Structure 1
Amino acid sequence: MSSIVPVDSQSLLHFLRDWYGEPESPAGQGSNVRMALPDALFEWHEISRQWNHRITSQNYAIPLSELEHDDGKVVFWVENQGTWIWSFDPREQGNPVYEREPSSGTAWSLTGEVLSDFLIHATVLEAILGAPEKKIATNVGERVIATWRDVTAFPFPAWNWPAPGARILFGQEWLALICSSGSSGYNVTVAAKEPSSLTWTEDVPEVDWMSFGEPQDSMEEEPPPLPW
C-alpha cells in the first residue's frame, strides 16, 4: 500500500482499484450537468460514479446538480451532520479550498489545498473511515508513532477536521489517521481491507487498541466510536 500514495487522478484510480477492487460501472457515462465548474470536480464525480459512490462513507460530495453558492463560494463537500463544510471560489484560479464550521459563525478560511488535491485527500480519508477493518486508540505518543516501520506520510497539508493537525500515513497494506487528542498524544485510527494487515499492532504494547471489523453474521455491528 505504501507504494500507492495518490497525488493525482491517475494514482488515485490506482489506489481505488487496490482498496475497493475494480469499478462496477464503466467510464464515460457521467453527469449531464454542464455548469461553469472546475474540471477536477467533474472528474472526481465521474470516478465516484464508477465505484457506485462507495468511495465516501462518512462525509459526502454534494451532487453537481445541487451545488449552490454561499457568500460567493460554492459549497461542494459536507461533514455528514453538517458540522463542517468545504467550498471553493469559482472566480479564483486553481480553486483553493475554504472551510468553516457553520455553527460557530466564523468566516471562511483557507485549507491550504487546491480543489484537485483536496478531493484526493478527502477520498483517502473516506477510505480510512469506511474501511472494513479498523483499530482505534487514544493518547498515543509521538515516540510510539515514530517507531512504525515502512510508513509514508501523505504529502498534503494537515486538516482541521476531524481535529486540528489531522494527517494521514500510508503503511504496508494499511492507512492511518492521526489527530491531536488535545493533550500530549494523538488519537489514531488504523484501517485496512483485511484483519491480517493490522496484526502488527499487536506488537505495540504501549497502545490499548479497540478493534472493529465487518460483522460475521446478520447482526449489525455498532459503528466504531470515532475519537474526536
Structure 2
Amino acid sequence: MARVKDPRDITLHDLITSWYGPPVRAAIPLPDTCDWLPAPLKHWHTLASRWDARLTRMTSMVPPEKIQVADDGKAVFMVDATGDWRWSFDPADPGTVHDAELYEPWQRNPEPFTQFLIHTATRELVHSVPHRLWTSAAPDAAVAEILSPLEEIGFGAWQWPTPGHRIFTGDDTLVQVVAADGGWQVEVAAREPTALTRLESIATITWHRPTR
C-alpha cells in the first residue's frame, strides 16, 4: 500500500521555512478592517509578510484589505495567473472554500480552508523554487521509479488546473504528477540541484528546465 502523508501534519510555517529558510522579519499585522476575514486566510497573509520570497506564481492572493463580498454572497480571495479561475469564501461559512472558472457557478472545494492553503503553498513551491525539472510525457515505469522513494500527500482533489494532479514529497524534493496524452506530466522541485541527479539519470525521460 502506498504511503500517504496526512496534510494535517504540515504547518504553513514549517513548510515555508523548510524551503525558503527562516523568516526575515516579524509579522506585519493586518488592519482592523480585515478582522472579518477567515482566520486561516489572515494567518496566511501575516505569515507571508515575514518573508521576502514570492510565495505564489501560479495564483495570486487578493490583498486582504481589498477583499469584498459580491452580490452572490461570495468573497474572492485568490485568482489564478490568467484570472480565469477564482477561489472564494462565504462569510456565513468561513471555513469552506469555493472555486470556479470565470462565469461558471461556484463549487465547494473538498478541503477545509487551512488544508486548502497548505495545498496551495505546496503546489506553488513546485513552480517557484530555483531547482526544477519537468516533462510532459513520462512513461509509467519511469513515473514509478521517480515516486518509489516518495510519500504522497493526501490532498483533496482539485479541478484546477488539471483534474487528477497528485503531489509527492521526499526529504529534498516535491513531485507533482498528472496523467497526460502519451504518458504523465511530471514537475519536480528540489531544495538543492544535487537532489535532481537521480531523476536526470532516468534514460526514458527527456527533462526540461524551466526558464524562470
Q: Which TM-score band (shorter chain)? A: 0.7 to 0.9
Rate the CA distance shift 1:113–1:21 in 2: closer, same or farther, 3 A.
same
Report how many aligned residue pairs link the two structures: 205
Tell me the TM-score normalised to structure 1 length: 0.82
TM superposition shift of 1:209? 0.7
Q: Which residue of 1 aligns with 2:34?
A: 34
Task: State the alpha-carbon separation in 2 of the partners of residues 31 and 6 from structure 1.
Answer: 30
Corresponding residue SS for 1:164:
coil
Rate the CA distance shift 1:91–1:30 in 2: closer, same or farther, 3 A.
same
Task: Spell out structure 1 runs of 4+ moving beyond 3 A.
Answer: 5-10
Q: Which residue of 1 aligns with 2:73?
A: 72
TM superposition shift of 1:22? 0.8
Q: Which residue of 2 aligns with 1:216?
A: none
Percent identity over the alignment is 30
- 2:126 counterpart of 1:128: yes
Q: Is the 8 A contact 1:6 1:120 kept in 2?
A: no
Corresponding residue SS for 1:75:
strand
Rate the CA distance shift 1:72–1:120 in 2: closer, same or farther, 3 A.
same
| Amino acid corresponding to residue 7 of structure 1 in structure 2 | P
TM superposition shift of 1:9? 8.8
Task: State the alpha-carbon separation in 2 of the partners of residues 67 and 36 from structure 1.
Answer: 10
Task: State the alpha-carbon separation in 2 of the partners of residues 56 and 48 from structure 1.
Answer: 10
Q: Which residue of 2 aligns with 1:180?
A: 179
Residues 145-224 of structure 1 aligned to structure 2 (within 5 Å): 145-147=143-145, 148-181=147-180, 183-212=181-210, 222-223=211-212
Rate the CA distance shift 1:9–1:56 in 2: closer, same or farther, 3 A.
farther
TM superposition shift of 1:56? 1.7
Q: Which residue of 2 aligns with 1:7?
A: 7
TM superposition shift of 1:76? 0.8
Q: Pick the structure with more strand per residue.
A: 2
TM superposition shift of 1:23? 0.7
Corresponding residue SS for 1:159:
coil
Rate the CA distance shift 1:9–1:90 in 2: closer, same or farther, 3 A.
farther
Q: Is the 8 A contact 1:137 1:207 kept in 2?
A: yes
| Amino acid corresponding to residue 206 of structure 1 in structure 2 | T
Task: State the alpha-carbon separation in 2 of the partners of residues 88 and 143 from structure 1.
Answer: 41
User: Gapped runs of 5+ residues in structure 1?
Assistant: 213-221, 224-228
Q: Is the 8 A contact 1:150 1:172 kept in 2?
A: no
When the two chains are superposed, the root-mean-square deviation of aligned CA atoms in Å is 2.1
Corresponding residue SS for 2:142:
helix
Higher RCO (Cα < 8 Å, 6 or more apart)? 2
Deviations 1:164-207, CA, capped at 9 Å, x for gaps: 112211123011121232x3522111011321111111232121
User: Gapped runs of 5+ residues in structure 2?
Assistant: none
| Amino acid corresponding to residue 190 of structure 1 in structure 2 | V
Rate the CA distance shift 1:90–1:46 in 2: closer, same or farther, 3 A.
same
